Every structure is written in structure tokens, then in C-alpha cells.
Structure 1
Amino acid sequence: MQFAFHLHALRHHWQRSMPSSIELERDLRRIRDAGFDGVDVSDSWPFDDFTVENAHTVRCAAESLGLRIPTVSCMGKTLCHPELAERNARAVEAAFAVAERLGAGIVNLALSIPRTPGVTPVMGATHSPGGSRGATDADFDQTAERLRTLAQRAADCGLSLSIELHDRSLADTSASLLRLLNATGAPNVGANPDLCNGYRAYDTPPETWREALSTLAPRMNLWHVNNLQRVHFPELQRSAFVERPLSDGDVDYSLALRQVREAGFDGWVVIEYKGVGDAFATLRAGRAYLSACAADAALETA
């Protein structure tokens, strides 16, 4: 496995939506020195800014330090919303050009309803906006049809797609994500079992993280990892979630890593952090923790 740093975590460290050349070099050097193999670029760093020249600058800066840019991530890209679907599909196609310019091989796709600025997203409730519980067969059919088109265009660019397990999306459970994969039927489309996204979708998780991973591990081509602690308020039918370091939340990643290794996954792992503390320190500690877990797993199978 190779480990990538989720650059979205550093967005508050930059003066603007994209880093200056000084900020970029500083942060990439720190990421390299922390033992990461690459970085993930998401569209919180506006993809409109990735002209051929700018992308070349970013790619050269990373490669000069021995870092790769294996993945780009598209967030909030529902493909069945009546007002957003077509625009989102075009945005995903634009991301293919960004991925090519950066030398990435995988475009990660979260099929979620985008968050409304200034409005707290609904998580940990009995109903999830855009979620699979309230979806119709037509929602799944429209999404699969658009995914088939996007998969072909991605293949033409030499790219793979990864569908992220995500709250506020049709793919908010392992069963609904697997349904989309099977309906799409494209060999270059796989799963990204971001376990905490599924965990936080509803007040009571419909499956354990181990069950979700067992279903999706055979189909995964990317893995986003982060951790949460769930606090359930049954009298309110709500759950709250506290961001935690990888080693301290409700998902046991030492067990999860063994599970995906046994399923044959040996691809890129993107370490995420969504809290408001020191993102760099948290991701650096997560990298060290996963390295120790991987070493233990290797000893067990030796």
C-alpha cells in the first residue's frame, strides 16, 4: 500500500483557495518528510485554477520531492438531482483533464448532495438528504447511466473512477454502493469504502464498519481513511460525531487494514482529517499509526 496526504485538510493554512508557490513547497516538503508517498488533490482547490501551466507547476513541485499525485477527488457530485446532475457530470469530466495534467490515475467521486454554505449538514438523523433510504429506482437508474458515460470517458483518458461511500448520497451504505457498481458494470469503476462516511449517515448505522468493509473490499480501488467517535442520543433519534485521530475512533484500523489486505487490496490509501485542529500533526500521526499496523500485519502473515 502507498499513503497519500489529503490536501483538503490544509485548505485553512493557505491565504487563498489555492496555495502560493511558497506555501506549496513548504507543505509538500513537510508531507514528504512525514513519510507520505503522495498527495490527493480535491476540488476544494478549485479545478478551474488548474490550467496546463499551473498543473505542470504543481506536478513538478511534487515530483521534485519524490511525491506522486495519484488521485483527485470530486466532492458533492450527485448525478440524479434534477437541478445539479448535468452540471455535476460536466464538472467530473473537467476533473478528468485535471487528473491527466497532474499525472493522477484515479478520480474519486462522492455522489453526495453538496453542503449549503452557512447551513449545518444533516448527519446522524433518521433521514439523510440525498440518501439511499429516500431514493427511487429512477434515482439509481439515472446515476448508473451517467456513471457508465463517465466511465467510458475516463477510460478514454486512461483513468479509473472510484465511488466513495458517503453520507447524503445514494452510496451511503455498502449495499447501495454495490448496487451502483453492478448497474454501471464498467471495469474501471471501483469502490472507496470511506467507513466513517457511512457510519455517520444515520442516527443508527445500518451496518457495522466491518460489514461494510467486507462487502466492498473485493471491489475497492481506493481507500479514504479517517476516524470518528459516535455519541448516540436515543431520546432525540440523533447521533453526534466527534472527529478523532485514526488510532482513537470507533473504527479499529489495525483490523480494517488486515481485512483489506486479505481481500487483495494493495492500492492508494488517502489519510483524511476533517476537524479544526492541527491537520498536519493529525495526518502525520495517522501515517505513523498505519505504518505500524501494516508492519504488524506483515509479521502475522510471514
Structure 2
Amino acid sequence: MTGATRKWTRDNWPIAAAMIQYPNMLADGRSVQDQSAEDWSRTVGEVADAGFTEIDPTDSWLRVADLSPGRRAEFLDVVASHGMTIPAISSSRRSVIDADSGDEYLAYSHRVIDTAAEIGAASVSFGFFEPLTETQKKALWFWTEQGAKNPDDPAIWKKAVARISELGRHAAELGIEVSLEMYEDTYLGTADSSVRFVEEVGLDNVGINADLGNLIRLHRPVEHWLQMMTKVAPYAKYWHVKNYMRIEDEHAGLIATHPVPLESGLINYRTAIRLALEHGFASAFLCEHYGGDGLSVSATNRDYLRRILPRN
């Protein structure tokens, strides 16, 4: 599956800030959904002050697709007032095959696609990962604890393919690409499974969010990042990028990881991006980072990407 012809250079490639460092619920018990435009502006202003010109209103922070038309217009005015655009919308932990809420999340995902078209975003990102468990919420790093797993059930796999195909067809009608996020213990939990899944969907506008960081951070054996990237590069679309340091001591039975800036971690993004570009990658990036001042590290990652992307 080859991407569209690249149309950007390192100077104007859309590189968005994720909003994962901002909570949906505020200390006073209010939801970000109910904040005033002035409150939204303070948060978006922080992102602009970090040097970002693009933002992804990640729905772990704000569900733009669930705002009323008037409130959505208010939010878009806030984004524009800070000189920013929205190249994509990412959905988190709203799996369309969730045993309890899958139907609700499917309807929501359709609204996300409609909203993306309405606001001029070219991409949406969906995944099959589910809400954090209570044990994960208590851990310093949630990925060190076991989370929910997609069932080893051919019928559920088939349902997942059917539902993503449905979303993909809807998105194609509106000129939107769908990127499916790689994540452990889901149907996109390995490179091989990810490729198999998108090939079964079989739509040109549906590809893989090659978020290898979600996999190399695991305290368990994983496939080498370069092997994974080589497999998924032909299918890469909207891409969440982050990196981790990974230490393995086979004799001691030790595997440990922690977040680091893109240029400092295990994944060589210079090589990974080159692979994707060779297959026609022509989508936006999203910078993420867990721990510390995630926004500032994301800004550092953005600057790194601008140094290694093509000049022309």
C-alpha cells in the first residue's frame, strides 16, 4: 500500500502536539468539555508558546466531536487565535470492539470522522486499546502492568475488520485517512498482525499508525524495532512518535525502559522515517512524551523531526 506523493518539506511538514499531558477532568471536578473558551485558550496558548503551529485535540483531553456546533466553533476560534491548525484527531481507549461500549464507540468514531472533515483535518487515528486498569492507574508507568487484551477469537477479529472497514469507507467519502495505532495485546500488537489487519480491511485510505514506542517500552521481549518498521512502513499513515531507552540483560532476566527524547532512544527515527518516505509516506506527525514536562520534550522532538525531514 503506497502513500500519496509527498507535498511537504522539513519547514512546513505538519507536526502536531499531543494533549496527553493535559487531563480531561480538572481539580475542581469540572470536565474540559465544559470549560470556557478563555480556559481552553490558556491551555492551547501553552502549546503555541512551546512553538507548535499544529495541535491534535486528543480526545483523552477534549472530545471535539462531542461538542455542540456552537462550542466547536468556539474551540476552533481559540485554535486559530493562537495561529494553529488541526491536521488530525486522535481517539484513545475507545475501541469499537469494546465488550461493553463498542457500539457507542463506533457511533462516536463516525462523529470523529465527520468532525475531522468539518474542521479541515486530513487524518484520524483509532485503536483497539481499552481503558487503563486500576492496577495500571496506580503504577508509575502504566505499561509495566498488564492491560486489557483483545480476545483471541476469530469472530471478534472479523467484527473489528468489518467495523474499521465501515469507518474507512465513511472516511474515504470525505477524503480522510484512517490510521490504526499499534498497541500491545491488541489486533495491532505486532507488526505482522498490524499488516494482516490492514490488508484484510483492504482500503487505500486505511493504514497503520506506526507508534513503535508503545511496543518497545514493554518490559517483555519484543521484535526489534527495525524489523517492525520495515514491515509496517508500506502502510504508514498518521504517525504518533515517541521514544524510550530500553535495557535488556538476558542473564539477569531484566528488561527496563523509560521515556526519552526522540533522538536519544532505541528507535532510530532518522532511519524509520526514511523507510516510510521510501514507501510514499505523506501524513502528519504527532509528538508525544510521558513524564516530566511532556510538552517541552515534545517540542524538542518536533525540532528534531524538522532537522531530519527532507529539505525539498
Alignment TM class, shorter chain as reference: 0.7 to 0.9
SS in structure 2 at match of 1:67: coil
1:175 corresponds to which of 186, 192, 195: 192
TM-aligned CA deviation for residue 32 of structure 1: 3.6
1:61-97 per-position Cα deviation (integer Å, ceiling 9, x unaligned)? 2223332111111112333343333232122123224
TM-aligned CA deviation for residue 247 of structure 1: 2.0
Q: Distance in 1 between matches of 2:234 and 2:103?
A: 30
Q: Within the alignment, does 1:289 sit opposite 2:291 as a pair?
A: no
Question: 1:269–1:46: structure 2 CA closer, same or farther, 3 Å change rule?
Answer: closer
Q: Which of structures 1 and 2 has the larger relative contact order (alpha carbons within 8 angstroms, sep 6+)?
A: 2
TM-aligned CA deviation for residue 101 of structure 1: 4.0
Question: 1:273–1:141: structure 2 CA closer, same or farther, 3 Å change rule?
Answer: same
Question: 1:210–1:156: structure 2 CA closer, same or farther, 3 Å change rule?
Answer: same
Q: Distance in 2 between matches of 1:232 and 1:12?
A: 35
Is the contact made by 2:218 and 2:257 (CA closer than 8 Å) also made in structure 1? no
Q: Give the CA RMSD over aligned residues.
A: 2.9
Matched to 2:196, the amino acid is: R
SS in structure 2 at match of 1:42: coil
Q: Distance in 2 between matches of 1:229 and 1:90?
A: 38
Q: Within the alignment, does 1:25 sit opposite 2:73 as a pair?
A: no
Choose 172-181 or 60-69, whichever is displaced more: 60-69
For structure 1, which runs of at least 5 residues remain unmatched after alignment?
Answer: none
1:135 corresponds to which of 127, 149, 152: 152
Q: Distance in 1 between matches of 2:163 and 2:94?
A: 12
Q: Which residue of 2 aligns with 1:36?
A: 52
SS in structure 1 at match of 2:180: strand
Q: Which residue of 2 aligns with 1:99?
A: 116
Q: TM-score, normalised by structure 2?
A: 0.81
Q: Distance in 2 between matches of 1:159 and 1:236?
A: 48
TM-aligned CA deviation for residue 282 of structure 1: 1.1
Q: Distance in 2 between matches of 1:129 and 1:235?
A: 29
Q: Which residue of 1 aligns with 2:16?
A: 4
TM-aligned CA deviation for residue 253 of structure 1: 1.8
Q: Distance in 2 between matches of 1:75 and 1:117?
A: 17
Q: Within the alignment, does 1:161 sit opposite 2:178 as a pair?
A: yes
Choose 51-60 or 3-12, whichever is displaced more: 3-12
TM-aligned CA deviation for residue 272 of structure 1: 0.5
1:184 corresponds to which of 201, 207, 214: 201
TM-aligned CA deviation for residue 20 of structure 1: 4.3
SS in structure 2 at match of 1:8: coil
Is the contact made by 2:25 and 2:31 (CA closer than 8 Å) also made in structure 1? no
TM-aligned CA deviation for residue 223 of structure 1: 0.9
Is the contact made by 1:72 and 1:106 (CA closer than 8 Å) also made in structure 2? yes
Q: Distance in 1 between matches of 2:252 and 2:108?
A: 38
TM-aligned CA deviation for residue 184 of structure 1: 0.9
Q: Distance in 1 between matches of 2:235 and 2:277?
A: 13
**What is the count of residue pairs matched by the alignment?**
292
Question: 1:239–1:155: structure 2 CA closer, same or farther, 3 Å change rule?
Answer: same
SS in structure 2 at match of 1:9: coil
Q: Distance in 2 between matches of 1:28 and 1:164?
A: 25
Matched to 1:167, the amino acid is: E
For structure 2, which runs of at least 5 residues remain unmatched after alignment?
Answer: 1-12
Q: Which residue of 2 aligns with 1:145?
A: 162
Q: Which residues in structure 2 correspond to 1:1-302 (within 5 Å)?
A: 1-11=13-23, 16-18=30-32, 20-47=36-63, 49-117=66-134, 119-120=136-137, 123=143, 129-131=148-150, 135-201=152-218, 203-205=220-222, 207-232=223-248, 239-275=255-291, 277-294=292-309, 298=311
SS in structure 1 at match of 2:94: coil
Is the contact made by 1:10 and 1:280 (CA closer than 8 Å) also made in structure 2? no
Q: TM-score, normalised by structure 1?
A: 0.84
Question: 1:236–1:60: structure 2 CA closer, same or farther, 3 Å change rule?
Answer: farther
Is the contact made by 2:172 and 2:205 (CA closer than 8 Å) also made in structure 1? yes
TM-aligned CA deviation for residue 103 of structure 1: 2.6
Question: Which structure shows the higher helix fraction?
Answer: 1
